[in-house]
Amino acid sequence: MTELTTSHGPFGHLNAAFGRETLATADLDFNLAVPRDTRRTLAKAWLGLGFFALLASGLFSILLVLSRTPVVQAMIPVADFFRVALVVHVDLSVLVWFLAFGGALWTLGGTTRLVRLAWCAFALSAAGTGLLCASPFIERAQPVMANYVPVLDGPVFLAGLVLFGAGIVLLCVRSMLASAPIGPHISGNGALKFGLNAALVACAVSAFAFAWSWIAVPRHLDARVYYELVFWGGGHVLQFAYTLLMLVSWVWLTSSLRPPATNALPAAAFPLSPRVLTLLFAVALAAVFLTPITYLAYDVTSVEHHRMQTLLMRFGGGLVIPPIALAVLWSIGSACKLDAVQRPVRASLVASLTLFAAGGIIGFLITGSNVRIPAHYHGCIVGITLAMMGVVYHLLPRFGYAAPSSRAAAWQPGIYGAGQLMHILGLVWSGGYGVQRKVAGAEQVLRSTQETLGMGLMGFGGLVAIIGGIMFIVIVLRALRPGQTEPKA
């Protein structure tokens, strides 16, 4: 900050004396500080939990891709295992990974109040995650392909889900009580904290929605119908939390792209002001606050309730995401002369924007219940995951570990993103011929060459994405090796 107030012309020191230029610089710096107290240790624990979930989900995803790839699928028993693996893969790669990542950012953005309560929340979530991973191997339970939160309808898996959910609810309560004040003057840092708080509120409202649906839905319904209704409303609200976390990550990472050998200004100024960014976050939050109205106005089991939840998601996302995405795209397009540490971050941003946009476009092509639906949400989910991967690269040196700066780190987001793009394009191709979702093996009924080629592209893209995922895991593990020095403040 000192360099900024003394290097902008002969009157820079006068501006600094009155605090004008320093204030303007702070306003435009969309950066989240990483504290060096108990919050950093707790944030590292949450990221560690998310990393473990991502690793475990990757192991299940290998079997998932093989179980849907022509020729290979005949070599493994897929009928029951495909659905079991799919349930655990989805819950680990979305529910646990995303919310654990949120736990890390909410911890960094808050104060040190109620730290013991925060550790209790982490312990509950970690215990629940362990049960989710172990359940396929210690119980035979019916897999239920419910949207947002698929389940294995058995006591071990459900106990793990309840424990994890209890930990997240406790995390939300503690984070709200320990939130840092933003103040009347909104800076870049304050705008990002507002976005994190909005995601936190969305997560809390989703817990409220889950509880309401659980009470309102009759238990005597068929398992698939029951869990679909229980998780529909809360699952929709969780999408706001995930998307807000991604948007905060985009802006934060964009601001981190600075010229080499300096910590002064971003390589390209972010075109949206802190107030405009805060307003966009507030629009998404307004859609979240409308959720209780849909519960009061319509029965949870009604078609109107489902339709209103979908409209809220389209309204909030449709108004908020495009302007922020365009601002990020403009900024990273203008950034140049980045060093080896910043290239993986930029690659993560480009891949995240591409996959999320592809998922959004595919959403408009959906007709009927076929594999275009998983193509849509895979694009969006992977877009969020890539943004979070970029934040992990950005945080590693700030947590005292080595900064990923190898060529492999710079290529990893592109490889993972390209594989996932082929994966979803294959699903779109096959979906155009009516290949059904949530099936594998002979149940796919691949009747034509086009269907087989489409699913073949899906399988090849999935394997490429797995390679990219393994690269991410290896790069992070290498950065975690002992003996790394603490970075300078």
Q: Domain residues for 418? A: 343-489
Q: In this predicted structure, what is the pLDDT of residue 47?
A: 93
Q: Provide the 3-class DSSP secondary structure of residue 110.
A: strand
Instruction: Report yes or no on 350 lying in a domain.
Output: yes
Q: In this predicted structure, what is the pLDDT of residue 320?
A: 83
Q: Grade residue 233 by pLDDT with cuts at 50, 70 and 90.
A: confident
Q: Grade residue 445 by pLDDT with cuts at 50, 70 and 90.
A: very low
How many other C-beta atoms lie within 10 A of the C-beta of residue 123?
14
Instruction: Report yes or no on 360 lying in a domain.
Output: yes
Q: Looking at residues 44-63, what average pLDDT do you find?
A: 87
Q: In this predicted structure, what is the pLDDT of residue 132?
A: 93
Asked if residues 413 and 344 have their Cβ atoms less than 8 Å apart, the reply is yes
Q: Grade residue 12 by pLDDT with cuts at 50, 70 and 90.
A: very low
Segment 98-153, tens digit of pLDDT: 999 999 999 998 888 898 999 999 999 999 999 999 988 888 888 888 888 999 98
How many other C-beta atoms lie within 10 A of the C-beta of residue 368?
10
Q: Grade residue 71 by pLDDT with cuts at 50, 70 and 90.
A: low
Instruction: Report yes or no on 383 lying in a domain.
Output: yes
Segment 349-401, tens digit of pLDDT: 999 999 888 887 776 666 555 556 667 777 788 899 999 999 999 999 988 88
Residue 42 above 90 pLDDT?
yes
Backbone dihedral angles phi then psi of residue 110, each to the nearest 5 degrees: -105, -165
Give the bridge partners for 144, in sequence order. 151
The closest of 85, 19, 32 to 56, measured between CA atoms, is: 85
Q: In this predicted structure, what is the pLDDT of residue 11?
A: 29
Distance (Å, whole) CA 367 – CA 25: 49
Q: Grade residue 180 by pLDDT with cuts at 50, 70 and 90.
A: confident
Q: In this predicted structure, what is the pLDDT of residue 106?
A: 94
Instruction: Report yes or no on 75 lying in a domain.
Output: no
Instruction: Report yes or no on 195 lying in a domain.
Output: no
Instruction: Report yes or no on 481 lying in a domain.
Output: yes
Instruction: Report yes or no on 66 lying in a domain.
Output: no
Q: Count of domains in the chain? A: 1
Segment 190-226, tens digit of pLDDT: 889 999 999 999 999 999 999 998 998 888 888 888 9
Instruction: Report yes or no on 401 lying in a domain.
Output: yes
DSSP 209-259: HHHHHHHHS-TTS-HHHHHHHHHHHHHHHHHHHHHHHHHHHHHHHHHH---
Lowest mean pLDDT among 75-84, 280-289, 387-396, 463-472: 75-84
Q: In this predicted structure, what is the pLDDT of residue 78?
A: 44
Which CATH number fits the domain that encloses residue 405?
Answer: 1.20.120
Q: Looking at residues 218-235, what average pLDDT do you find?
A: 88
Better-scored residue on pLDDT, 436 or 480: 480
In order of 15, 127, 147, 217, 295, the CA distances from 301 in angstroms are 62, 32, 15, 7, 10
Q: In this predicted structure, what is the pLDDT of residue 430?
A: 62
Lowest mean pLDDT among 110-119, 138-147, 403-412, 476-485: 476-485
Q: Which position has the token pair 């693996």?
A: 85
Torsion, Cα 242 247 252 256, to 10 degrees, reads 110
Q: Please return the burial class of 22, using the count of CB atoms within 10 Å of its CB with bins 0-12, 13-18 and 19+.
A: middle
Q: In this predicted structure, what is the pLDDT of residue 2?
A: 37
